[in-house]
Amino acid sequence: KLFMLTEFFPIQIGLKTLAPLVFGGLVQGALASAATETLAAVCNFIIGRNLLTERLPKLSVFGSAPLGEASWYGKLVKAAENDGFQLALLLRLAPVLPLPFDSYWYLLGALRVKLLDFSVA
């Protein structure tokens, strides 16, 4: 999860399937799986906060204008400032950006969503 390996290898499916066996029951396995997944997402969020906050608006893909000048990026920044919880929850439930799912956590960290809002969502 931390290095986005689950985007390329179906490791996560096997781990969630084995969690009830390893942790002694369905409820314990589900709780352990959810807790570790949330912890990994928070790690991604913190990495995004520390490494991408200043770099993301300056990022230019294939020679295009920097992301900070794109209208969609401005709307994301505004949504993160107004209601970071709702943005994090919506992106988690309905991934609409053309990005790998685990990279949303880095992006939300860079957008200054509050850690508590992100964790709860």
What pLDDT does 36 receive? 84
DSSP one-letter code for 66 = -
The token duo for 93 is 């439930």
What does the pLDDT profile of the chain (121 residues) look like in tens digits? 555 555 556 666 777 778 888 888 888 888 888 888 888 889 889 988 999 888 888 888 788 888 888 888 888 889 888 999 998 888 888 767 767 777 788 888 988 889 999 988 8
Give the pLDDT confidence score for residue 4 in this predicted structure.
Answer: 56
Q: What is the pTM of this model?
A: 0.75
**Structural contact between residues 79 and 41, judged by C-beta atoms closer than 8 angstroms:** no
In this structure, what DSSP letter does residue 69 have? G
Q: What value, to the nearest 5°, has the Cα angle with vertex 102 and ends 64 and 85?
A: 95
